Amino acid sequence: FVAAWGVLFGYVSVITFEAVALPTVIDYVLPVEHQGFLWSLSGWDVYVTWVLIGSGGAVVLTALNYFGVKPAAIFQSVFTIAIIATGFLLLGGALVNGNVEHMQPLFKDGFSGMMSVLVMIPFLFVGFDVIPQVAAEINAPKKIIGKILIISIVSAVVFYLLIVFGVTMGLSESELAT
């Protein structure tokens, strides 16, 4: 009961984050002149176009899941490959053009800095509960499910650490603040 409610709240928090993240990412790739000011929240202006982009993304993903596993699997595979390729591009760019001096100091802000990272950790791992569901669908032996789960978590940790390393090498402290 408690685990099910925990998963539900985890997904609700991720959905609200992603509804805001999608328009933000699109703004970085293809800047949009937002129209229809609605309100301001913590210094961020919310526009109708912003809401439409976030809601449209939710509708597209819902439709994709509605039409079946095969289209969703293709979509997910394409985007997973794109994310991994982007991560490698970031890491390669940081190794070629980055500066090790940007990594100093290795630790900053002590306990509050550590807590600011720990607050994000649950968002990074929401979705791993899908592994047992998918394993049940493909009739994977129970011994393999545990291995898949451990490999997935270790892979995610390594990927996130490499991203942090790449960003830290590639950007100075002032660039990170911007």
Provide the pLDDT for residue 72.
83
- Strand-pairing partners, residue 45, are 40
Residue-wise burial string across 116-140, b where 16 or more C-beta atoms lie within 10 A, e elsewhere: eeeeeeeeeebeeeebeeebeeeee
Q: Are strands 44-47 and 37-41 parallel, antiparallel or unpaired?
A: antiparallel
The model's pLDDT over 7-32, given as tens digits with 9 standing for 90+, comes to 788 777 777 777 788 888 888 888 88
In tens, the pLDDT along 34-64 reads 899 998 988 888 889 988 988 888 888 888 8
Q: Calculate mean pLDDT across residues 117-140.
A: 70
Q: Report which residue type is found at 52.
A: L
CB atoms within 10 A of CB 50: 24
Token readout for 125 is 């791992």
pLDDT for the residue 48? 92
Q: How far apart are CA 3 and CA 91, in angstroms?
A: 36
Give pLDDT, residue 10: 76
